[in-house]
């Protein structure tokens, strides 16, 4: 099965420069052959190899893959297309594992995205707790050591009511929390290497997702 080659990266580089329908239609064949096709193949292959990560990830591209088209109805940016394409393996809504293809290659990630204020409040309560908060600190240190970077929306200063000297202030600032890693180019065009690299990152992220599932989905 064929995976990602330089043509896929070139497509996204071109799309970043010419984010308009005429350019896309002129390069639709490149998109289908080098982007959508390989990503669909990856999702289907992950169905059998990654089922232990997320039972809801069934290898169905229609359920797992995000669309390339942007929702521009309420956005000041009217660019019609995203400059990346990804797939999501959920444990719950907005919580799980992610893999993305863009102009720089393949990016893996996991964690949660905040859909409600209540969800962020539960997250911060767990970070504030000395037991569960200390557990998260240990998990994030292990992820950093494994080469994954902390991400997720956060406030610039500190949440209301959180003291300046809070021992976990950096984590308290987050409204959502993720960990991600840019894969080396050497794994992109070899199916076995790519699958192994994604699985390695997702395995490293698993303790974070387990912590989040236990503490914000109560």
pLDDT in tens, 143-183: 999 999 999 999 998 999 999 999 999 999 999 999 999 99
What's the rounded Cα separation, in Å, for the pair 207 and 136?
A: 9
Residues paired with residue 174 on neighbouring β-strands, in sequence order:
154
Q: Phi and psi at residue 42, in whole multiples of 5°?
A: -65, -45
Overall average pLDDT of the 130-138 stretch: 98
Going through the chain in order, the beta strands assigned E by DSSP cover 84-92, 95-102, 105-112, 149-151, 177-182
Q: Domain boundaries in the chain?
A: 6-216
Secondary element (H or E) of residue 72: none
216: nearest Cα among 98, 137, 120: 120
186-199 tens-digit pLDDT: 888 788 888 889 98
- Mean model confidence pLDDT for the chain: 89
What pTM does this model have?
Answer: 0.89
E strands present in 19-135: 84-92, 95-102, 105-112
Question: pLDDT, tens digit, for every residue of 38-96?
Answer: 888 888 887 766 666 655 554 556 678 899 999 888 888 899 999 999 998 888 888 98
Q: What is the pLDDT of residue 131?
A: 98
Quote the pLDDT of residue 132.
Answer: 98
Pick the CATH number of 6-216 from 3.30.830.10, 3.30.9.10, 3.30.930.20, 3.40.50.970: 3.30.930.20
Model pLDDT, residue 200: 92
| Cα Rg of the chain, angstroms | 19
């Amino acid at each position: 099965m064929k995976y990602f080659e330089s043509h896929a990266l070139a497509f996204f580089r071109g799309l970043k420069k010419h984010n308009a329908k005429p350019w896309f239609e002129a390069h639709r064949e490149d998109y289908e052959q080098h982007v959508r096709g390989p990503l669909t193949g990856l999702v289907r292959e992950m169905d059998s190899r990654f089922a232990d990560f997320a039972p809801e990830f069934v290898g169905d591209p229609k359920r797992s893959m995000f669309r390339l088209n942007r929702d521009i109805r309420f956005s000041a940016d009217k660019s019609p297309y995203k400059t990346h394409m990804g797939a999501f393996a959920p444990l719950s809504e907005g919580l799980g594992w992610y893999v993305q293809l863009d102009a720089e290659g393949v990016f893996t990630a996991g964690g949660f995205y905040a859909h409600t204020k209540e969800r962020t409040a539960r997250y911060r309560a767990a970070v504030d707790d000395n037991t569960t908060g200390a557990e998260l600190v240990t998990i994030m240190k292990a992820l950093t050591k494994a080469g994954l970077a902390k991400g997720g929306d956060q406030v610039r200063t500190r949440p209301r009511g959180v003291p300046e000297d809070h021992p976990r202030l950096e984590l308290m600032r987050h409204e959502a929390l993720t960990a991600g890693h840019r894969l080396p180019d050497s794994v992109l065009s070899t199916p076995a290497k790519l699958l192994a690299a994604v699985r390695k990152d997702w395995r490293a992220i698993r303790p974070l997702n387990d912590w989040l599932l236990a503490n914000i989905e109560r």
